Amino acid sequence: MIFDYIQTTEEQKDILDIARQICEKELLPQVPELDRTGTYPRDVAKKLFDAGLYALEVPEQYGGMGVSHETNFLLAETLGYYDAGFGFTFHAGSMGAECIFMGGTEAQKQFAANELLNGKTFAFCLTEPACGSDAASIATTATREGDAYVIKGNKCFISGAELADYFVVATTIDRSLKYKGITLFLVEKERGVQIAKHEEKMGIRLSPTNEVVFDDIRVPADHMIGAEGRGWGIVMRNMEVVRPTSMNFATGIAMRAVDEAVNYAKVRTQFGQPIIRLQGLNFLLAEMLERTMVSHGALMNIAHLLDHGMPLNGMGSATKIYASQTASWVASKAVEVLGGYGYMREYPVEKLMRDAKIFEIFEGTNQIQQVVLGAMLSK
C-alpha cells in the first residue's frame, strides 16, 4: 500500500491504524451500496467517534486533544483513501465550528468544544444560490430586533446539513457594505432551520449536500460570532485551514487510485507477462505515484506552516490547485490502466474519478485560486 511510504510519529501511527481498521472492516464493504443510494453511514461515524477520532483539533484548554494540523491532515488523507465523501463529512462536522474557535467569545468556544466532544456536529453555511465565488454578494440578512437578530435567507450546497445540530451562518447586516457587512451567527437547528433539497451529486455521494432555509429565524444577540461586520475576516482565516485540510481527502483518492492500478497491473497478464512489466505502463504508474507523493508533501508543508503560525503566502491556493488536479488526473489514469474494467461499477476506480472532480470546484474553485495567485504577481 502507498501508506508504506508515509512517515509518521508513533502517536500518529496509532491514530491512523485505528482509522484504517474501522474503515477496512466497517466502511469499505458498504461503499458500493452507499454510493448507489447516496447514504451517509452513521454507524461508521459512531464507531470512529467511540474510538476517539472525532474533533481531534479541539484545543486542549477546552478539553480536547489539540492535535497538530499535520496529524489532522494525515487522518483526513486516510479517511479519503477509503471514501472521500464520508471522510469529508465526518471531518466537516467539527471543522464547521472552526470559526467559533477563531473569532468567538470564551463562552462560545467552551460551548462548541463541549458539544463537539459529545459528538454534536456543526455545518458551515456560506454559499448561496446567487453567491458562490463572489461571497461579498451574500443575500442572507441579519436584522437587529431588540436583544436578538432575525436571520432570513437560503444557503445551498451545504455539506452535512441534514446531519448537523448547529449551523455557523454567514449573513449580511447591510448588503451595500459588501464584505464589511458580513456577520457570523451560531444557529441551533431546533430554532426552526429547514433542511430542504437533498442534492443528487455525481461524486462524493456518501456526503449529504443540502439547501438550508433560514425563514425569519430569531437568535439571541450573544449568538453572534465576533462583531458586526467582522465576519469576513473570520471566514478567510477559517478557509486558510479548511481548504488545505479538505485537499487531503483528494490526496487520499489519488493514493487509493495508485494502489488499485498497481494491484491490477500486477495480476493482469497480456502478451505473456503482467502488464506492470510493460515499460510504457510502468512509467505511467510511476508518474501517478510521483504526483501523488508531491501532493502529499505539499500538504504536509502547509501543515508545518499552520502548526508554526506562519503565513501561507499563496501556498494554500497553489497547493489546492495541485492536489485537486492530481486527484482527478491520477484517478482518470487508474481507469485507463484497468481498461474496460475500469469503466465498470464493479471496480472502484470509476467512483474515484467521480469523487475527485469536486475538489477542483469547492472550497474556492481552482480558477479563483489562480486569480489569487495572479493578484500576488501583480502587486
Q: Which residues are catalytic?
A: 363
Give which of 241, 208, 223 is closest to 142, Cα–Cα.
223
Cα angle, residue 293 at apex, residues 292 and 296 outer, rounded to 5°: 90
DSSP string across 267-321: H-EETTEEGGGSHHHHHHHHHHHHHHHHHHHHHHHHHHHHHTT---TTHHHHHHH
Per-residue cell: 275: 502488464
Sign of the CA dihedral with 54 first, then 59, 64, and 70 last: positive
For residue 2, how far is the Cα from the chain centroid? 21
The dihedrals phi and psi of 127, each to the nearest 5 degrees, come to -65, 140
User: What region does 272 belong to: left with phi over 0, alpha with psi -120 to 50, or beta?
Assistant: left
Of the CA atoms within 13 Å of residue 229, those in its CB half-sphere come to: 7
Cα angle, residue 357 at apex, residues 349 and 289 outer, rounded to 5°: 55
CA distance 296 to 302: 10
CA distance 128 to 133: 10
